[in-house]
């Protein structure tokens, strides 16, 4: 099955700085890559996703890039704010439009210091 | 916003007791997942259903766990007998073929003492 590795496991940044979280995957059939944000004691929430026919996608302060050749994808958060503090999970799926199972990374605890 | 509803939100039970967790997926979502989250193992897939049919339950300890979808509006996860190592947060998530991603429920925090 798919194996998703996520780094770093913890990340601390000053408010206003950028944060980058990286993930690699093993199965070249994977074609859907979502990112979830989980605040303490709450459910994971989808913040952005990308499909394999796209190299980059942006939504305000967050962006995701995908390198299919190298099998890695990254989350970029610019102008970080304290409310960005949470655990971020990357995931990969080979379901395409069928929405197969998600294989999750182990998560990155992001702390943004005021 | 449409929500995935899970009950109960919290459950404390004694070892050996039966535990049933329920999930109401978003109306129209045909794919339902059960995940377990612990600090040690992260998010583990236990089982998932499409159009109420089980597709994969290989992550579930078969001797004590069972998952069902008696109808399109209800998914259940049952543990019998429960053990302390089952203590975790259990999430249900639902999705649709053409939608983007899954929506997670708020989870059931299970503590087995």
pLDDT tens string, chain B, 113 residues long: the values are 789 999 999 999 999 999 999 999 999 898 999 999 998 888 999 999 999 999 888 889 889 999 999 999 999 999 999 999 999 999 999 988 655 678 999 999 999 99
Q: Which helix (DSSP H) or strand (DSSP E) does residue A65 occupy?
A: strand A62-67
* Cβ–Cβ gap A43/B105 under 8 Å: yes
Contact between residue B83 and residue B112 where contact means Cβ atoms under 8 Å apart: yes
Which pLDDT score, from 0 to 100, does residue B96 have?
Answer: 84
> Which of A101, A105, A107, A108 to probe by mutation at the B interface, max B CB count within 10 Å?
A101
Q: Which residues pair with B93 in a beta bridge?
A: B33, B104
Which pLDDT score, from 0 to 100, does residue A97 have?
Answer: 56
Closest-CA residue to A96 (of B92, B95, B45): B95
Residue A96's pLDDT band, with cuts at 50, 70 and 90, is low
Which pLDDT score, from 0 to 100, does residue B100 have?
Answer: 64
Chain A residues with CB inside 8 Å of B107's CB?
A: 43
* Cβ–Cβ gap B33/A102 under 8 Å: yes
User: Chain B contact for A31, CB < 8 A?
Assistant: no
Structure tokens of A65? 């890039």
Name the E strands within chain B: 5-7, 10-13, 19-24, 31-38, 42-50, 53-56, 65-71, 74-79, 88-95, 103-104, 108-112
Nearest CA in chain A to B92: A43
Residue A69 falls in which region: left (phi positive, over 0), alpha (psi -120 to 50) or beta: alpha
Contacts of B15 (CB under 8 A, 6+ apart): B81, B82, B83, B84, B112, B113
Chain B residues with CB inside 8 Å of A89's CB?
A: 43
Nearest by CB: B104 against A44, A97, A105: A44
Nearest by CB: A97 against B97, B102, B107: B97
CA angle A94, A95, A96 (to 5 degrees): 100
Compute CA A24 distance to the chain's CA centroid, rounded to the nearest angstrom. 10
Which pLDDT score, from 0 to 100, does residue B1 have?
Answer: 72
């Amino acid at each position: 099955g798919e194996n998703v590795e996520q780094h770093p496991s913890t990340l601390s940044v000053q408010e206003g700085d950028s944060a980058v979280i990286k993930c690699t995957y093993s199965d070249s059939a994977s074609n859907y890559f979502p990112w979830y944000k989980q605040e303490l004691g709450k459910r994971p929430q989808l913040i952005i996703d990308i499909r394999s026919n796209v190299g980059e996608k942006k939504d305000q302060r967050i962006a995701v890039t995908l390198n299919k050749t190298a099998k890695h994808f990254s989350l970029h958060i610019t102008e970080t704010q304290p409310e960005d503090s949470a655990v971020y999970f990357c995931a990969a799926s080979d379901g395409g439009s069928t929405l197969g199972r998600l294989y999750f990374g182990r998560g990155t605890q992001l702390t943004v210091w005021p | 916003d449409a929500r995935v509803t899970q009950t109960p939100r919290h459950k404390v039970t004694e070892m050996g007791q039966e535990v049933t967790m329920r999930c109401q997926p978003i109306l129209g979502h045909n794919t339902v997942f059960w995940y377990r989250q612990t600090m040690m193992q992260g998010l583990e897939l236990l089982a998932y259903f499409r159009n109420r049919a089980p597709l994969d339950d290989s992550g579930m300890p078969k001797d004590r766990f069972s998952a069902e979808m008696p109808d399109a509006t209800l998914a259940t996860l049952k543990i019998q007998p429960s053990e302390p190592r089952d203590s975790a947060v259990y999430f249900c998530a639902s999705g649709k073929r053409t939608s983007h991603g899954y929506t997670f429920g708020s989870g059931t925090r299970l503590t087995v003492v």
